[in-house]
Amino acid sequence: MNLRHTENNLISDPKTFWSNFKNKNINSPDCLFYNNVCNENDGDIANAFADYFSSVFKPSTDLDGNDDCKSNCVGDFAKIESVTYDDMVLDIRELKSSLTVGVDNIPSFIIKGCAEFLIYSLLVLFNLPLRLKAFPDV
């Protein structure tokens, strides 16, 4: 399958995209276009991704680590003290490669495909509320 076909069918067929992405023999384009700018080197491409993700990021309210847990019964339902690296790897592998997005506008197939880069950030995201015994406000 050629690169142009894969690009055109990214939304309807993400599995083909990731298959080609993982294939070491794929012919990569000479540049990544973002905001009508051709980004050719790794640093510029990384900055383009950072710019995009910062543009769709929606900050939450500040979490005060001194807040008491608002519900005394949380411990009765959740016996999870922490989420481990292995837990995260297994859970990400079980995600369906779909186009469904959350509040961050990132489809699950992106999370699956970029798991090795996201795992440690996700571990912090999940373990902080468990350690503080408080749910952050949205």
Span 49-74, pLDDT tens digits: 888 888 877 666 544 555 454 544 44
List beta partners, residue 129.
none
Mean local confidence (pLDDT), 35-49? 87
Its pTM stands at 0.41
pLDDT higher than 90, residue 7 = no
Mean local confidence (pLDDT), 14-23? 72
* Residue 25: φ, ψ to 5°: -90, 5
Task: Quote the CA–CA distance of 76 and 13 in Å, as a whole number.
Answer: 42
Where does the pLDDT of residue 28 fall: very low under 50, low under 70, confident under 90, or very high at 90 and above? low
**Token reading at 80:** 């999870």
Burial class (CB in 10 A: 0-12, 13-18, 19+), 27: exposed
